[in-house]
Chains A and B, each alone.
Chain A
């Protein structure tokens, strides 16, 4: 009888090696991971994918070495919500998830796979950065770490790229989140920084905590590098799955229409919007009346909250909503809100998601602080993004829209497919008070009696309001329609259906010189 591979231990040798690979790093690192409320990389994938039937590439990377299973990264292809996706996931139990040359090569290859198959690319990041001992093999070379970022930029807008940050993403590694469309960060564990607090103390003498330097909350509220702050790994994964339901597999396909759902029961728009144009109200409450209940996915919720940006469904149709939030800073636009708006518009436009602008904006902020911070160029960035977007654009003037605020929120000159006003809309180059001050300041000053002066000013305010009466603007076809607040949701649903086949040719040029 001849020997066959069944009897000479081939399978045993394979099983033995696979068991070591699947176990990840030494038990003490698993313990440490549990203490930090972190999940093992393969358990993260269990939660992420629809089921256990996913393919894995490069399991045997560095199997010849001791204690470097899969070279510290799992690269896999599986299904999320029935859609094939490619995933890179660091194993922080293996040398703190640091990158060796094979780690980098595996990441590059899974990106190449995502591009070839035109499917979303997910980065589950939890890495201390480069293995300094291996630097020549993985840092400066053509297929070194830089190539990962080069690929991300190349694939940007081609397929959705999502980052789930479970731990550190240090130094160069911080660019993985930076080049993704969205970064979901686990509070307390996720962090990003170019230099660690230890390095900062040594090199520049600054003494700060990890949270202060690059913690999840800091990035989601102050720097804006993070988009979604979650409190657990399970929440990060479920939010990523929910996020992806809004996107097609790639830019060449339109997002799916889902089953229509009713809006949340709540107060009418008439009850929500104050009569006093200068009093605040909660724009989130208004949005809830327009969208399918539970469909809102807030992006950069904690950053520049004076502008709300989020994905939602109206009768099952996906839409990207930008809305001023009067409750925060009066809904005035600042540099950060302009940046937030620009990124969100670019995201939606890349993946055929129509845009809905809900305007209640007194304008952009004024004053030396914002001027020195370049509010003009940040505002230009926002307006350029909105202007260049070729997806359906619906502009709704909810209350006021003054000056460049009108422009930023897709005013008529920027070719929204429709510009609708509610009866409460006030469109003007500036508000009544500022305008009357500007035009009549000499006359006002000439009136000595304060009572007479007040009467004069109030009369001028009234005349101004009549001048910008919304029916006058509609009469001149400046706006396309005036709609009763209780009809707005149905009108939006109808308009979104109408504009489904919008197809605008791209202008003939290489690309714009984008304001930054």
Chain B
């Protein structure tokens, strides 16, 4: 189980996966918008999406959990 965390404060621009989806390492999971830039967040390993912890448009702080990945 691994929590993907926000590397910087910003808002959630889009969420590209749903709970239960299988993902491969490097696959784009969601995009954060910060400082007017699109910050891609990628899966660190192959697995499945256990939980999506954010909503599109929501604010996240650096270190907040975005998505929980399982094996």
Q: Which A residues fall within an 8 A CB radius of B? A: 276, 278-280, 326-332, 334, 362-363, 365-367, 369, 431, 433-434
Contact = CB atoms under 8 A, between A and B. Distances in A.
Nearest to A333: B35
A330 B37 contact: yes
Given A365-B8, A369-B9, A369-B62, A332 B35 contact: yes
A367 B9 CA distance: 8
B39 interface: yes
A421 B61 CA distance: 34
B40 interface: yes
A107 B64 CA distance: 47
Contact of B35 (A279, A280, A363): A363
Nearest to A368: B9
Contact of A279 (B34, B38, B61, B62): B38
Contacts of B36: 278, 330, 362, 431, 433-434
A362 B35 contact: yes
Contacts of A362: 35-37
B38 A366 contact: no
Contact of A366 (B35, B39, B40, B62): B35
Contacts of A431: 36
Interface string B4-42: 000111000000000000000000000000111111100
17 contacts: A278-B36, A280-B37, A280-B38, A280-B39, A327-B40, A329-B7, A329-B34, A329-B39, A330-B8, A330-B37, A330-B39, A363-B35, A366-B35, A369-B9, A431-B36, A433-B36, A434-B36
Nearest to A405: B35
List 10 tightest A-B contacts by C-beta distance, closest first.
A330-B37, A362-B35, A332-B35, A431-B36, A329-B8, A330-B39, A367-B9, A433-B36, A278-B38, A278-B37
A142 to B, nearest CB: 47
Contacts of A365: 8, 35
Report which residue of B7, B8, B34, B62 has the largest number of chain A beta carbons within 10 angstroms of its beta carbon: B8
Given A276-B38, A278-B37, 18 more contacts: A278-B36, A279-B38, A280-B38, A280-B40, A327-B40, A329-B7, A330-B8, A330-B34, A331-B37, A332-B8, A332-B35, A362-B35, A362-B36, A365-B35, A366-B35, A369-B9, A369-B62, A433-B36
Nearest to B9: A367
Report which residue of B7, B9, B37, B61 has the largest number of chain A beta carbons within 10 angstroms of its beta carbon: B37
A280 B35 CA distance: 13
Nearest to A326: B37
Given A365-B8, A369-B9, A330 B35 contact: yes
Contacts of B35: 330, 332, 362-363, 365-366
Contacts of B39: 280, 329-330
A326 B36 CA distance: 12
Nearest to B34: A330
A434 B33 CA distance: 13
B46 to A, nearest CB: 20
A431 B62 CA distance: 22
B6 to A, nearest CB: 10
Contacts of B34: 329-330, 332
A433 to B, nearest CB: 5
Contacts of A326: 37
A110 to B, nearest CB: 43
Contacts of A433: 36
Contacts of A369: 9, 61-62
A340 to B, nearest CB: 16
A276 B36 CA distance: 12
A328 B62 CA distance: 14
A95 B52 CA distance: 53
Contacts of A363: 35
A160 B34 CA distance: 39
Nearest to A360: B37
A64 B15 CA distance: 71
A288 B37 CA distance: 24
Nearest to A327: B40
Contacts of A331: 37
A430 B46 CA distance: 38
Contacts of A276: 38
Contacts of B62: 369
Interface string B36-65: 111110000000000000000000011000
A330 B9 contact: no
A145 to B, nearest CB: 39
A431 B36 CA distance: 8
Contacts of A328: 7
A331 B35 CA distance: 10
Contacts of A366: 35
A63 to B, nearest CB: 53
